[in-house]
Amino acid sequence: MSIHASRPANNPLAVARGTDPDARPGGDPLADSRGTDHVARPGGDPLADARGTDTVARRSRFLGAVTLLVLCAFAVACARPAPPTGNAASEGRPAPGGTVAQDGIGATGTGAAATRNVVDDLGRSVHVVARPERIVSLAPSITEILFAIGAGPRVIATTSYCTFPPEAANTNKIGDTQKPDVERILALKPDLVLVSTASQLESISERLGALGVPVVVTAAKGVDGVLTSIERIGVATGDTDAATALTTTLRARIESVRATIAGRPAPKVFAIVGNEPLFTSGKGTFLDDLIRLAGGASITADETTEWPQYSAEAVIAKAPDVILVPLVTHGFAAQDSGVPKSIAATPAVRNGRIVKIDGDLLMRPGPRLVDGLEQLAKALHPEAYR
């Protein structure tokens, strides 16, 4: 946290990176931990003593290293309480080499070293350079958003799940969304890391933040929340105009769907998220939101868990008119395992109204949710689109 708040020109990490880009990996542990020490305490120097000890007792290097590590841990722990929003800039301290940055979205600086504060979906205020050139995305949805707003060429790394657009395959891969390789992320020297709560463990963003990497978190709820996330990401990457243009188009398309289906009776929809056992979508998922926006009534919209395991007989009793099968490309739910026999006695199956849509369009909180919305609306209200 203290790293967020440190002034970039003074940030020893930046200096260290600039002067010694090839920090010996796996080399002298003492040197490494000394580096960490610098990073952890840019201002004060409580570790000077420790370093002195080190020079005196060169023979007990190991002991010194351990001591340093412990002290570093202590220093980091002490530095923690600095609130993420209370940063150098808002306290009025000028940032040498830059401008006094302002809080809030859209603040820009002059010059390469200038930073601004970007507020993310969690309300955290994060220092980000004016135009990040080395962006790391840790979620498929974020990767899609970055490419959609034209920041794609500056994305240097994504996760192994980031399959869209195809260009995302050309970036470095830093593992999957569950266990991103923190070391590799650090080695890539990103100036912006984007994390989504949809697929990201909170601990990763805290770890990266503590290591001095600017981390912006997206936590979109509902389709509307995704549009806000897109705009926030645009601000973070310096593509505000492109992001706004994108969300304007997306809003118009959502509105067009709404106008087309307005006044039509809502068919009852049952979504199959997993087949054996039967899993569906409850309240508060993107799927749930999309079904509503597309003019459908989910029969499981009252379920309080997001992905409840659901009873086949309850499905039969609720008699859905349409069964929605998001096609997922990995594992069991994939490969069109279709509709289980146990719910064959429903109007949807009798009338052959099984709707299959690419699951990425329905469950990834990115711009293609609107594609999914349009496909779903067409499937739920074919007469309206005739």
Partner 1 sequence: MRPGYLTSGRLVTVLAVLVIVLAIACGVSLAFGSERVPVGDILAAMWARASGGTSPLSPEHSAIVFDVRLPRLALALVVGASLSVAGSAFQALLRNPLAEPYILGVSSGAALGAVLSAVVFAAAATGRTMSAFAGALVTIVVVYAIGEGREGAPTERLILAGVIVNAFLSSAIIFLMTLTSEAGLRGIYSWLIGDLSGSSDALWPIALVTLAGGTAIALCARSMNLLMLGERDARALGVATRRVKVVVYCAASMITAASVAVSGMIGFVGLVIPHAVRLVVGSDNRLVVPASALVGAAFLALGDTLSRTLFAPREIHIGVVTALIGAPVFVYLLRRSW
Footprint of partner 1 (CB under 8 A): 161, 176, 178-179, 273-279, 303, 305, 307-314, 316-317, 319, 328, 330-335, 337, 340-342, 344-345, 359
Say how far apart CA 4 and CA 83 lie, in whole Å.
10
Decide whether 142 or 149 has the Cβ nearer to partner 1. Answer: 142
* Separation of alpha carbons 285 and 294, rounded Å: 14
Shortest distance (Å) from residue 198 CB to partner 1: 11
Q: Which is nearer to partner 1, 211 or 219 (CB)?
A: 219
* Nearest distance, CB of residue 149 and partner 1, angstroms: 25
**Pairing of the two strands 115-119 and 125-129:** antiparallel
CA distance 99 to 55: 39
Alpha helices in 41-176 (DSSP H): 48-56, 61-79, 140-148
For the beta sheet containing 155-158, the strands, ordered from the edge strand earlier in sequence to the opposite edge, are 172-173, 155-158, 135-137, 192-196, 215-218
Q: What type of residue is 254? A: I
Q: Cβ-count burial of 89 within 10 angstroms (0-12 exposed, 13-18 middle, 19+ buried)?
A: buried
Name the residue nearer to partner 1 (CB basis): 135 or 328: 328
Output the smallest distance, CB 281 to partner 1, in A: 12
Smallest gap from residue 377 Cβ to partner 1 (A) = 24
CA dihedral (371, 372, 373, 378) positive or negative: positive
Whose Cβ is closer to partner 1: residue 178's or residue 248's?
178
Q: How far apart are CA 318 and CA 347, in angstroms?
A: 10
In the complex, what is the shortest distance from the CB of residue 222 to partner 1, in angstroms, rounded to a whole number?
A: 20
Please report how close the Cβ of residue 146 comes to partner 1 at its closest, in angstroms. 20
Residue 7's Cβ-side half-sphere holds a number of Cα atoms within 13 Å equal to 17
Q: How far is the CB of 349 from partner 1 (least distance, A)?
A: 10
| Beta carbon of residue 316, minimum distance to partner 1 (angstroms, whole number) | 5
Gap between the Cα atoms of 149 and 52, Å rounded: 51
Closest listed residue to residue 268, CA positions, set 232, 321, 224: 321
Using alpha carbons only, how large is the chain's radius of gyration in Å?
25
- Residue 51: count of CB within 10 angstroms of its CB: 16
Give dist(CA 345, CA 305) in Å, integer. 26
Six token digits for residue 228: 């806000």
